[in-house]
Chain A
Amino acid sequence: MNDATPAVEIRDLHKRFGHLEVLKGISLTARPGDVVAVIGGSGSGKSTMLRCINMLETPSAGDIAIHGETYAMRPTRDGGLEPADRRQLQRIRAQLGMVFQNFNLWPHRTVLGNVIEVPVQVLGISRDEAVARARQVLDRVGLAEKEDAYPAHMSGGQQQRCAIARVLAVEPLAMLFDEPTSALDPELVGEVLNVIRDLAAEKRTMILVTHEMSFARDVASHVVYLKDGRIEEQGPPEQIFGDPRSPHLQQFIRSIA
C-alpha cells in the first residue's frame, strides 16, 4: 500500500440505538498525517462515530477501512451488523489507539505495567524490549519519574498522559481521542493538550473529538462539524472557524466562544 492509502476511511456510516438513529450516513477520510478535529453539540454523535472506528460500537450500516483493510461484517438478527472475523477485528484494533475521556487505565497495574501491557500481551514483543520502549514514550509525555506509580495515585493530567503513552507504545496507524481533557480540572488541561500538540506536529494521524475550539483551530489539519448525526460542514480550520457557512455552525461557534 502506498502513502495515499487512507489511514481511516468511513463510508456512509449509519448507527441506530433501537429506534434512535444517531449517525445518519457519515463519510470521512483521514490520510496519514492528518489531524482531524471533530466538533459538534452534545449528542450529535461524535463519540459514537469515533467508537465505530474501532468497533466499540458496531455500525448499523456502512463500511470502515483501516489502512485499506475493510472490517468484515455480517448481518445480525436485529437488522444491524457485527464483526464477522474476530482475528481480523483484533488485528485491526491493535493498529489503533484510543484515548478515553475517563483515561480507562488499568488500576491494578503500575504506569509502566499499563504501557507495556498491549505490546507484550497483544503484539508479542519481548518484555525487555517493551520496557525500553515504554520508558521512551513515558519520557515523551513527561512521566519518566512515575513508572512505578499506580494510576489512582496520580493527578488526572498525569493519568491522561499515561493513557497517551499507552497508545504511543503500540505505534498506532491512527490515534483516536474522545474529549481527552473534558474530565480534567481546568489547571491540568494544558499539560495534556501540550502533549497532543507535539504529537500533531510530528504528523501523527489522529482523529480528535474535542470541545477545545482554539486548540482544534491550532492543531487540526481538517475540521468536521457534526450536527444530528450528519456532517454539516467540514474543511480546513481557517474556514470552519473563520468563515463558517452553515447557520448552525455559526451559532455553535458563537455559543462556545
Chain B
Amino acid sequence: MIEAIDFSLLALTSPGWGGALLAGFLRSVELAAGGYLLGIVIGLLGATAKLYGGRVLRDIAEIYTLLIRAVPELVLMLLFYYVGTDLLNQLMAAFGREGIDIDGLSAGILVIGLVQGGYATEVFRGAIRAVPPGQIEAAQAFGMSPFRVLRRVTLPAMAPHALPGMANLWMIATKDTALLAVIGFSELTLVTKQAAAATREYFLFFFAAGLLYLALTLISNLGLRWLERRARRGLPAAA
C-alpha cells in the first residue's frame, strides 16, 4: 500500500498540493505566534491585576481566568469568534461607523490570544510569587517607581520561573491553531483536509501535516532552550 503513494502530490506547484500545504503551515505559525504574543501581553496584565490590582481589577481577572480554564477551548473559540466579531460590529455601528470586516488573521490571533491569556495569567502569577519579596523590597527601598520595579526587577526575576509554563503554552498555541479549521481558517489542518479529500490520499497528507507540526515543535524547542538558558543566567545550576 505504501508503494502506491504518489509523492508527486506534494509538489509545490499546481497539480501538487505542497505549496498550499506550506501556505497553510505559514498561516498556522502566524496565528500561533500572534496569539501567543497577545497571550503574553494579556497574561502580564492579568497577573499584575491579580497580584497588585484593586478589588474590581482583581475580580475581572479572576472571572476571566475561571472562564478560560473551565470552558473547552473549541467552545471558547467559537464564542469569541462569532460573538466577538458581532459585538465589534455592533460597537462600530453604535459609533456610526461602517460594520468593519476584521480580517481572518486578526480574528484568529485574537481568539487564540484570549485563550492563551487566561493560562498565561496563571503562569505569570505563580512565577511572580516565586520571586523572593526581598529583591522587590530592595528596589523599592532605592526609590524605584512601581512600574520600574516591575520592569527591571520583578519581570526579569520571574522569567526563569515562568519559562517552563510558557514553553508549554507555546506548544498548545501551535496545536490550537488546528481548532480554527472548524471556523474555516485555511490553516494547515484545513488545507490538509481539503488536499486529502480532493486526492483521496488521506494518509499521505495527514502524515505530511504531522511532520510539519513536529518540525515546528522541534525548532521551537531549540529556541526555548536557548531562552531558558538566558533567563537562568546567574541562577544556581541546580534546581
Contacts and interface: CB of A to CB of B under 8 A. Distances in A.
A, B bound: yes
29 contacts: A56-B137, A56-B140, A90-B145, A91-B143, A93-B140, A93-B141, A94-B143, A96-B141, A98-B138, A100-B138, A104-B132, A104-B134, A104-B135, A104-B138, A105-B138, A106-B138, A106-B139, A106-B156, A108-B157, A108-B233, A109-B234, A117-B142, A118-B142, A118-B143, A121-B152, A122-B142, A122-B143, A150-B235, A170-B142
Contacts, number: 76
A152 interface: yes
A107 interface: yes
Contact of B144 (A90, A105, A109): A90
B184 interface: no
A59 interface: no
A210 interface: no
A31 B134 CA distance: 28
Contact of A110 (B139, B145, B234): B234
Contacts of A94: 142-143
B141 A98 contact: yes
Contact of A104 (B137, B156, B234): B137
Contacts of A102: 132, 134
Interface residues on B, range: 20 to 34
Interface string B151-186: 011001101000000000000000000000000000
Closest 6 CB pairs of A and B: A150-B234, A94-B143, A93-B143, A104-B134, A104-B138, A90-B143
B234 A152 contact: yes
B154 to A, nearest CB: 10
A97 interface: yes
B141 A152 contact: no
B130 to A, nearest CB: 12
Nearest to A170: B142
Interface string A67-87: 000000000000000000010
Interface of A: 54, 56, 86, 89-98, 100, 102, 104-110, 117-118, 121-122, 150-153, 170
B96 interface: no
Nearest to A96: B141
Given A56-B137, A104-B134, A93 B142 contact: yes
A108 B156 contact: yes
Contact of B135 (A86, A96, A107, A153): A107
